[in-house]
Chains A and B, each alone.
Chain A
Amino acid sequence: MAAEREPPPLGDAKPTDFEELEDGEDLFTSTVSTLESSPSSPEPASLPAEDVSTNSNGPKPAEVVLDDDREDLFAEATEEVSLDSPEREPILSSEPSPAVTPVTPTTLIAPRIESKSMSAPVIFDRSREEIEEEANGDVFDIEIGVSDPEKVGDGMNAYMAYRVTTKTSLSMFSKSEFSVKRRFSDFLGLHSKLASKYLHVGYIVPPAPEKSIVGMTKVKVGKEDSSSTEFVEKRRAALERYLQRTVKHPTLLQDPDLRQFLESSELPRAVNTQALSGAGILRMVNKAADAVNKMTIKMNESDAWFEEKQQQFENLDQQLRKLHASVEALVCHRKELSANTAAFAKSAAMLGNSEDHTALSRALSQLAEVEEKIDQLHQEQAFADFYMFSELLSDYIRLIAAVKEIEEWEAKVQQGERDFEQISKTIRKEVGRFEKERVKDFKTVIIKYLESLVQTQQQLIKYWEAFLPEAKAIA
């Protein structure tokens, strides 16, 4: 057995990994029912650990120990869950290298995923520490931009292609600056892959921007109006924020799927991204296994930390939603104010024209100009309101949903204490990281937003100061 477990030399592994990735993808896109196909999958997607293992020899000894555990757990699992036991043995035997097995496509049933992932946390932990060390040594420097939305094609088959530009000094990338063209479904595909690999292990995978049928149809149909340009801009900004959040995550950054997304000029078209996201599939799987799991859930002695965190996130979610709704109202009213100010400016100008007292006439025209400029200000402020504040809030609402998923997941985990600990350690670290990020994010945005408000006020001062002498000049 041990011999089988030895990891193949890296060089060989790589090409095969990609193939496996493809197969993994196929599995991913097929429905849950085709479990029979899973045994034929030679190798699930590989871990970034592989990259790191070149630097260290840590993983190996650990694997051996784990395998034993895994066997035991498999035994347990087989007793408790009848669903996939027949398939389990073949997998076990055909498994050549545990070092690269931690993550499996999510179409495999929950229990099996759990069992496979048991080895993952340890390796993850280790590799992540290593990555972090490396990262601290290396300047953790990567900048992502999403730009130049371009409409490709015509009619209902049209889509928007975005340019994804990466600037980095990280060694894992072959170049320091490069860009590729991606479409929205590519982003969704990336997210589902990442989610399927990392969500159930306790990582907070940033959620992708939402699909919008109405918005996209307008664009496809070729409606060139302000609402569709607004939609495209909104989406572009959301995609950029999504990628930026994803690469900020040290573990996700190491993922080859992410790298492929950023680097390779041709990306296999992600199908079936319409209906399901990684999280969606997880949910489906959960539901299926729910009935079974209920019988076997072993809730460990109530982990106070988790309870508290869950409550905290629940509260946070509620508050953010409330705030988000209020900010949306603000954006709407500011836009109205802008429109009304513009209308008033026009009528003030007309009034100035009618006025036959010259000085008053001039003053009124000046007033009209001031109001027009103020209208512009309001528009810009609305823009800031929206992009800075409102979008950040909705991003976080969705992020928290992702966090809640993990915690839900964690609650359903039915394993021995050891592995529970592994996952919970991961989750704790993730939550800690999430909190740090959140604090940073919010603080940055709050400062930027305040600056925009202050700037608006200063502009207002300028305009009215210029107008005052005109008013005084009316004689």
Chain B
Amino acid sequence: MEGRQAGKESKPSSVSVDLQGDSSLQVEISDAVSERDKVKFTVQTKSCLPHFTQLEFSVVRQHEEFIWLHDAYVENEEYAGLIIPPAPPRPDFEASREKLQKLGEGDSSITREEFAKMKQELEAEYLAIFKKTVAMHEVFLQRLAAHPTLRRDHNFFVFLEYGQDLSVRGKNRKELLGGYLRNIVKSADEALITRMSGLKEVDDFFEHERTFLLEYHTRIRDACLRADRVMYSHKCLADDYIPISAALNSLGVQEVNQLKMSFLKLAEFFERLRKLEGRVASDEDLKLSDMLRYYMRDSQAAKDLLYRRLRALADYENANKALDKARTRNREVRTAESHQQRCCQRFERLSDSAKQELMDFKSRRVISFRKNLIELAELELKHAKGGGTQDTWV
């Protein structure tokens, strides 16, 4: 490990010459295993970059290690002017597991068929959650790999290649609390800075972005919550069809007259409807809910960037004032000057990269929405048409 680190440090950063463009570093999660309360992701990397000792390699990582990586980026001053890709959410199978357990405990009033169907539904749900968490973790890594600056991070290489456990434990309660407090302090600080007299936003672009992002973030969070509820209702509806179909079936079986066929066919129809509704629900979930959720987090990351820039501006302003004071007193002017200069540089650096980042954010957002909305509409159409062919039996 140390040998490799030393090796990396000594090499010149000529990585910017990418022969294959973006594909010089390809990261994916090739496999994932769910154990009792943790998920183990197999992160596979294909790269011709000189940083790595092999062309292709994989490691096993857990959720906490992803969080460690994310936090490392956030705390790194070098990346203060960049939007740090939002951390993937913790894998949460609680709800699903509970439901499976409850089903297992048994309800004698349901038939064997119903039980089998409900079990199938819950298992599918579990699988869907699993797939989603894999996707979220993968997207996080892939964004890092695609970003020209972020991909060159040392911790990132370690994450991708180091064969053993990174010995990163989950945050304990004190650290979690610390995290919450930092957030509160941050918001308070932000509020203070913006009201500080004399702090004028010099750039219209940023003024606009700030207003926009604040509103956008709130509204997308709202939309995401409500989309979740719609998806949940769809799921409930799909689940409702199970007992209905079963009851119709038993009615049909009992009947001896013409109604028999009607009931049985109706039961079959409801079964198909159930599968349909289930698919509609999961598609809405993926294409709409998940997308909204992702951009909610991403817009939060963008807001964080703006805050950092604002903080830098405030620091710059303060340095200016300190310099003026030093000049009037004619004391420690040199220190004040260099401090002011540093702040100025930092601020300008942040502003430049932030501008670029925010524009990238916008285009990324537009592309993603477009793709997902088209796919959503196409899937909805497919489902609606699939349900429409039932009138033939009548």
> Which residue of the partner chain, among B369, B380, B381, B384, contacts A360 with CB atoms under 8 Å?
B369
> Which residue of the partner chain, among A312, A322, A367, contacts B373 with CB atoms under 8 Å?
A367
Residues of B within 8 A of A341 (CB): 230, 233
Decide if A319 touches B251 in the complex (CB within 8 Å). yes
| Interface SS of chain B | helix
Expressed in whole angstroms, the Cα–Cα distance for A435 and B232 within the complex equals: 40
Decide if B247 touches A471 in the complex (CB within 8 Å). no
Residues of B within 8 A of A364 (CB): 369
Decide if A344 touches B266 in the complex (CB within 8 Å). no
Smallest CB-CB separation from B224: which chain A residue?
A347
Query: Does B22 interact with chain A (Cβ within 8 Å)?
Result: no
Interface 1/0 per residue, A332-375 and B, CB below 8 Å:
01101100110110111011011111011001100100000000
Residues of A within 8 A of B215 (CB): 354
B:230-278 near A, CB below 8 Å: 230, 232-234, 236-237, 240-241, 243-244, 247-248, 250-251, 254, 257-259, 262-263, 266, 269, 273
B385 to chain A, nearest CB (A): 6
Smallest CB-CB separation from A348: which chain B residue?
B223
Query: Does A62 interact with chain B (Cβ within 8 Å)?
Result: no
B264 to chain A, nearest CB (A): 11
Smallest CB-CB separation from B236: which chain A residue?
A333
B:45-70 near A, CB below 8 Å: none
Stretch in B10-18, B145-153, B386-394 touching the partner: B386-394
Decide if B362 touches A458 in the complex (CB within 8 Å). no
Decide if B374 touches A461 in the complex (CB within 8 Å). no
Expressed in whole angstroms, the Cα–Cα distance for A287 and B309 within the complex equals: 87
Residues of B within 8 A of A467 (CB): 377
Assess A453 versus B244: contact at CB under 8 Å? Given A439-B258, A464-B377, A474-B369: no
Stretch in A117-125, A237-245, A410-418, A440-448 touching the partner: A440-448
Residues of B within 8 A of A439 (CB): 257-259
Decide if B381 touches A447 in the complex (CB within 8 Å). no
Residues of B within 8 A of A464 (CB): 377, 380-381, 384
> Which residue of the partner chain, among A347, A461, A471, contacts B385 with CB atoms under 8 Å?
A461
Interface 1/0 per residue, A291-330 and B, CB below 8 Å:
0000000000000000000001001100110110011011
Query: Does B219 interact with chain A (Cβ within 8 Å)?
Result: yes
Query: Does A433 interact with chain B (Cβ within 8 Å)?
Result: no
Interface 1/0 per residue, B355-391 and A, CB below 8 Å:
0000000100110011001101110110011011011
Expressed in whole angstroms, the Cα–Cα distance for A348 and B378 within the complex equals: 19
Decide if B391 touches A333 in the complex (CB within 8 Å). no
Assess A471 versus B251: contact at CB under 8 Å? Given A354-B212, A360-B366: no
Smallest CB-CB separation from B260: which chain A residue?
A439
Residues of A within 8 A of B200 (CB): none
Query: Does A460 interact with chain B (Cβ within 8 Å)?
Result: yes
Expressed in whole angstroms, the Cα–Cα distance for A12 and B234 within the complex equals: 67
Expressed in whole angstroms, the Cα–Cα distance for A237 and B393 within the complex equals: 29
Decide if B273 touches A350 in the complex (CB within 8 Å). no
Residues of B within 8 A of A343 (CB): 226, 229
Assess A337 versus B219: contact at CB under 8 Å? Given A326-B244, A465-B381: no
Query: Does A10 interact with chain B (Cβ within 8 Å)?
Result: no
Query: Does B206 interact with chain A (Cβ within 8 Å)?
Result: no
Query: Does A221 interact with chain B (Cβ within 8 Å)?
Result: no
> Which residue of the partner chain, among B236, B250, B259, contacts A336 with CB atoms under 8 Å?
B236
Smallest CB-CB separation from A323: which chain B residue?
B247
Decide if B384 touches A344 in the complex (CB within 8 Å). no
Interface 1/0 per residue, A452-475 and B, CB below 8 Å:
011001101100110110011010
Decide if A454 touches B388 in the complex (CB within 8 Å). yes
Query: Does B216 interact with chain A (Cβ within 8 Å)?
Result: yes
Decide if A460 touches B384 in the complex (CB within 8 Å). yes
Query: Does A284 interact with chain B (Cβ within 8 Å)?
Result: no
A223 to chain B, nearest CB (A): 28
Decide if A340 touches B247 in the complex (CB within 8 Å). no
Decide if B370 touches A329 in the complex (CB within 8 Å). no
Query: Does B344 interact with chain A (Cβ within 8 Å)?
Result: no
A130 to chain B, nearest CB (A): 28
Query: Does A438 interact with chain B (Cβ within 8 Å)?
Result: yes
Residues of A within 8 A of B262 (CB): 442-443, 446
Expressed in whole angstroms, the Cα–Cα distance for A442 and B248 within the complex equals: 12
Smallest CB-CB separation from A329: which chain B residue?
B240
Interface residues of A (CB under 8 A from B): 312, 315-316, 319-320, 322-323, 326-327, 329-330, 333-334, 336-337, 340-341, 343-344, 346-348, 350-351, 353-357, 359-360, 363-364, 367, 435, 438-439, 442-443, 446-447, 450-451, 453-454, 457-458, 460-461, 464-465, 467-468, 471-472, 474
Q: Return 15 A-B CB contacts under 8 Å, by A number.
A: A320-B251, A322-B247, A323-B244, A326-B240, A337-B236, A354-B219, A357-B362, A360-B369, A446-B262, A450-B266, A451-B394, A453-B390, A454-B390, A457-B384, A464-B380
Interface residues of B (CB under 8 A from A): 212, 215-216, 219-220, 222-223, 226-227, 229-230, 232-234, 236-237, 240-241, 243-244, 247-248, 250-251, 254, 257-259, 262-263, 266, 269, 273, 362, 365-366, 369-370, 373-374, 376-378, 380-381, 384-385, 387-388, 390-391, 394
